[in-house]
């Protein structure tokens, strides 16, 4: 590069110094033209080399940016289910709250807790439990909109963030998920059936992330308790309506045990 720069300087300085002698001696004209051609060639080679160097640097930076983006994305995704994780929730949810607060738009969320996940693990093993969670995640991604964000909070808990969604719309979305779950179970995709309890909460101006999550969590446990009470009531009613002969047999077995 130094040689090229020196040659370039010479191209400007030398002609002014020797132009008078060159005009009087035509023998130097061919050498002058050859020197200019050589200078042009060297300059073009230099430009091409610089361009290649810029392209190499740009490609390297692009690779590093892509690797950095991939590493960041990997850190924000749950490796088991392929949906976003709690870390991403802590990043995106405050942004959605800020957006809803500024624009006055609705923001709701649905929190899900798998029913009897411990029994699933006991019956089908940890591999079966992992597949169960993957099936839940797949169903959630299929059911909700592309603008919604599906996350796994950890364990058997999932969260769906629904921007520009009122409380009534979020409740309907949760009902739609219930229908999708019934259809999935009826299709017999697996040896188990998917079952989970859900809670809905809607952001109100002035609330922070924890308050919205706590509200959804309380709603979910309310639903879970109500479902358990309904199931126990149904079991009790079935016991009362049971065939008298079967009741006698069962009572006899109980006496034998005692």
**pLDDT, tens digit, 9 for 90 and up, residues 236-249:** 776 666 655 555 54
pLDDT at 257 (0 to 100): 44
One domain for residues 44 and 141: no
Beta strands in 116-237, from DSSP E residues, in sequence order: 149-154, 157-163, 196-202
In whole angstroms, what is the distance from residue 155 CA to residue 152 CA? 8
One domain for residues 138 and 187: yes
Beta strands in 14-156, from DSSP E residues, in sequence order: 84-85, 107-114, 149-154
One domain for residues 18 and 135: no
One domain for residues 59 and 91: no
pLDDT at 74 (0 to 100): 63
Q: What's the average model confidence in pLDDT over 128-139?
A: 96
Mean pLDDT score of the chain: 82
Please report whether residue 76 resides in a domain. Answer: no
One domain for residues 60 and 140: no
Please report whether residue 253 resides in a domain. Answer: no
Out of 8-22, 58-72, 187-201, 230-244, least confident range:
8-22
Whether the CA torsion 153, 158, 163, 167 is positive or negative: it is negative
- C-alpha count within 13 angstroms, C-beta hemisphere, residue 223: 22
One domain for residues 100 and 51: no
Domain hosting 223: range is 84-240
Residue where one domain finishes, among candidates 71, 102, 122: 71
Q: What is the CATH number of the domain that holds 193?
A: 3.30.70.270
pLDDT surpasses 50 at 67: yes
Please report whether residue 159 resides in a domain. Answer: yes
pLDDT at 40 (0 to 100): 84
- pLDDT per position as a tens digit, 208-241: 999 999 999 999 999 888 877 776 666 677 666 6
One domain for residues 88 and 23: no
At 150, give phi and psi (nearest 5°). -100, 130
Write out the catalytic residue numbers: 156
pLDDT at 224 (0 to 100): 83
The residues, ordered by sequence, that sit 6+ positions from 81 with a Cβ below 8 Å of its Cβ are 133, 134, 136, 137, 152
Residue 57: which pLDDT band, with cuts at 50, 70 and 90?
A: confident
pLDDT at 42 (0 to 100): 83
- pLDDT per position as a tens digit, 78-133: 999 999 999 999 999 999 999 999 999 999 999 999 998 999 999 999 999 999 99
Instruction: Look at the chain and report how many structural domains it folds into.
Output: 2
Please report whether residue 37 resides in a domain. Answer: yes
One domain for residues 138 and 234: yes
Q: How many CB atoms lie within 10 A of CB 54?
A: 10
């Amino acid at each position: 590069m130094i040689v090229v720069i020196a040659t370039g300087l010479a191209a400007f300085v030398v002609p002014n110094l020797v132009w008078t002698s060159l005009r009087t001696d035509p023998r130097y004209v061919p050498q002058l033209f050859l020197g200019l051609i050589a200078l042009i060639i060297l300059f073009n080679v230099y430009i091409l080399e610089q361009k290649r160097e810029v392209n190499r640097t740009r490609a390297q930076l692009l690779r590093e940016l892509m690797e950095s983006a991939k590493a960041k994305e990997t850190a924000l995704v749950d490796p088991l289910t392929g949906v976003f994780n709690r870390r991403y929730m802590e990043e995106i949810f405050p942004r959605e709250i800020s957006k809803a607060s500024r624009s006055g738009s609705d923001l709701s969320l649905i929190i899900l807790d798998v029913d009897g996940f411990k029994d699933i693990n006991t019956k089908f093993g940890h591999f079966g439990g992992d597949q169960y969670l993957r099936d839940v995640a797949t169903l959630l991604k299929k059911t909700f909109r592309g603008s919604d964000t599906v996350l796994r909070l950890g364990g058997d808990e999932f969260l769906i963030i629904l921007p520009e969604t009122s409380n009534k719309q979020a409740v309907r979305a949760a009902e739609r998920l219930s229908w999708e779950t019934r259809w999935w179970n009826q299709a017999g995709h697996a040896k188990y059936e998917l079952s989970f309890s859900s809670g809905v909460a809607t952001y109100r101006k002035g609330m922070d992330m924890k308050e919205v999550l706590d509200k959804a969590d309380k709603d979910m446990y309310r639903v879970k308790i109500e479902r358990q009470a309904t199931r126990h009531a149904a079991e009790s009613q079935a016991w009362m309506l049971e065939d008298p002969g079967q009741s006698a047999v069962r009572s006899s077995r109980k006496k034998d045990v005692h």
